[in-house]
Structure formats: C-alpha cells, structure tokens
C-alpha cells in the first residue's frame, strides 16, 4: 500500500525538519509532500535540502495560487500522480502527532476516510486558551448543524483518505482556497457515501511558529459552509463515484 503524507506549510521553518524526521520514524517508506507558499522564513529551502538526501520527500514550492486549501489540493494531486493508494493529511506545526500514523493506516483498511478527532472519547484538545478551544468546538458544531454531518470533529485537518475518495471529490472543482477545504472535503466524501470513522487524537498547542488563523479567515470559513450547503441544495456540488 503506497502511502503519502501531505503537509501544507507557511512559515513552519522551526517545525518542518523535526516533523519530517518523526514521520520517517513511523514509516521509513512513506512519501512526504510539502506544499509551501514560498514561506518568507525559508521553510521551502529546508525541505529542498531534505529532499536531496531523501528521495521520498517532495517539495511543491508554490509562488502564485496561495492558501491552505489550494496547497492541500496541489499536494493531493501530486500524491495521486505518484500512485498513492492512501493519503494522510496533517498540519506541519506538531499539533498533529505523527505517532497516530500507524493507527490511521490500520483503520483505513476498513474505512474510506479516517478522521483524527478531538471530540470522541479519549480524544483531547490540550491547547491552553479556552477561547481557542471554544472557537473550534463552536465551528465544528456549526458545520455539523448546517451541513448535517454526523461527526464529532468536522474541523480536524488530520485525516487519512483512500485514493478513491480523493478521486471522487474531483479536486478540480474544490471551492475552498483556504482552511475550509477541511469541511468541504468531508462534506463531499459524506455525500458520496464513503465509509467514514473517527479515531481519538490528542491535539496539542503548537510550540514553534505562529498560527495563521485570524478573524477574517474564520468568517470566510463560516460563509463557505453556507455556500457549500447552497451549492448542494441547488445540485451544483461536483464530484462522483465511479
């Protein structure tokens, strides 16, 4: 089973090298693709250096279409081109611990999509700020309510997909260029009838680098969820199972 990990990065220079090392420790053969948006802190340069000694590490240095969502799409596309059977996406700030990779790979044998969830029993959000945790919970509740999704953590960006899910959602038609790609992919996969499960993860505060979430991005995310619902009601949400 050929497996890829996709990592969107923007200014993760302090995290990326130790993170790639940790992922490697979990699985020496896993492909790792980093989709960087020309980070001013030189994250891409670090990845470029690593890719010269590890032929299974790939850098997508993007200089035009920027954003967390479009980086995700480019990385997924790349993994599919490399014949990945399974793709894991995760944040590159150590909030998502690579130690869960073997568990994702075990569960993906039974399900089409596995979500790393902070909101199921044994899952946890260990960030210090009660406000930040409440925003995540509220936003997940909102997504669940508006889109009718039966999942506890609709905002988790730590997930594992079977190839067929990424093919079926039609990456060319993804509307989100920003972080709402997380909700968009989940909604589409759910509507297409794929089997989806949640496994508990402990989500920790990033120690290095800065969060890119701000009020504008949050509001854009809330609006995108409404847009997704509207598109769905009008029958305009693209994607199909073969």
**The dihedral of CA 197, 177, 56, 168: what is its sign?**
positive
93 forms part of the interface with Mg ion (CB under 5 A): yes
Q: Which residues bind ligand GTP (CB under 6 A)?
A: 8-10, 12, 35-37, 66-68, 71, 91-93, 95, 179, 206, 211-213
The two structure tokens encoding residue 166: 């990424």
Residue 115 interacts, among ligand GTP, Mg ion, none and using kind-specific CB cut-offs from 5 to 8 Å, with none
Residue 9 interacts, among ligand GTP, Mg ion, none and using kind-specific CB cut-offs from 5 to 8 Å, with ligand GTP
* Cβ pair 149, 73 in contact under 8 A: no
Residue 227 interacts, among ligand GTP, Mg ion, none and using kind-specific CB cut-offs from 5 to 8 Å, with none
Tell me the closest approach of the beta carbon of residue 65 to ligand GTP, in angstroms.
10
The two structure tokens encoding residue 44: 């891409």
164 versus 206: smaller Cβ distance to ligand GTP: 206
Tell me the closest approach of the beta carbon of residue 236 to ligand GTP, in angstroms.
26
95 forms part of the interface with Mg ion (CB under 5 A): yes
* Cβ pair 166, 83 in contact under 8 A: no
Contacts of 130 (CB under 8 A, 6+ apart): none
Neighbour tally for 191: CB within 10 Å: 16
């Amino acid at each position: 089973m050929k497996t890829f990990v996709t990592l969107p990065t923007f200014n993760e220079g302090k995290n990326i090298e130790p993170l790639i090392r940790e992922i490697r420790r979990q699985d020496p053969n896993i492909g790792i693709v980093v989709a960087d948006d020309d980070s001013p802190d030189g994250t891409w340069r670090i990845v470029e250096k690593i890719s010269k000694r590890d032929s299974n590490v790939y850098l997508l240095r993007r200089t035009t279409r920027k954003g967390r969502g479009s980086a995700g799409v480019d990385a997924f596309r790349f993994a599919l081109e490399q014949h990945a059977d399974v793709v894991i996406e995760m944040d590159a700030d150590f909030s998502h611990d690579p130690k869960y990779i073997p568990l994702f790979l075990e569960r993906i044998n039974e399900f089409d999509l596995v979500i790393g969830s902070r909101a199921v029993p044994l899952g946890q959000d260990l960030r210090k700020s009660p406000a930040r945790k409440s925003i995540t919970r509220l936003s997940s509740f909102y997504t669940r309510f508006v889109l009718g999704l039966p999942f506890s953590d609709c905002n988790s960006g730590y997930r594992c997909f079977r190839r067929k899910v990424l093919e079926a959602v039609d990456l060319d038609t993804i509307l989100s260029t920003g972080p709402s790609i997380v909700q968009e992919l989940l909604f589409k996969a759910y509507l297409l009838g794929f089997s989806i499960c949640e496994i508990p993860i402990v989500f920790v505060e990033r120690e290095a680098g800065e969060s890119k979430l701000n009020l504008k991005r949050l509001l854009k995310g809330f609006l995108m969820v409404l847009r997704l619902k509207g598109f769905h009601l009008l029958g305009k949400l693209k994607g199909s199972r073969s």
